[in-house]
Amino acid sequence: MRKDDVLAYFGGPKKSQTKTAAALGVTKSAVNQWPDPIPLKQAIKANARSNGDLRLDMSVYELPEIHGRSKSHRRHAIA
């Protein structure tokens, strides 16, 4: 999610960082430090608080690879 889109949606015509911060429950300083795209946690919050008007495009975020045991591995560990 692009920072400019979030600022325009919550911050109004002047793209106010203060209004955006208040809408998302973060500090103005945090909004000022956002990279582009904004952090995933804040993008999820912006998507929810905008009732989906701000689209969350997961393709722009790198998600960590999750390493875990498979169900079959767990069955053998318990037995």
Model confidence at 64, pLDDT cuts 50, 70, 90, reads confident
Residue scoring higher pLDDT (64 or 32): 32
- Just give the CATH number of 3-60: 1.10.260.40
Residue 51 predicted with pLDDT over 60: yes
Q: What's the predicted TM-score (pTM) here? A: 0.77
State the Cα–Cα distance between residues 58 and 61, nearest whole angstrom. 5
Q: What is the pLDDT of residue 58?
A: 93
Q: Please choose, from the candidates 37, 35, 34, the residue with its C-alpha nearest in 3D space to the C-alpha of residue 61.
A: 37
Chain-wide mean pLDDT for the chain? 89
- Residue type for 65, please? E
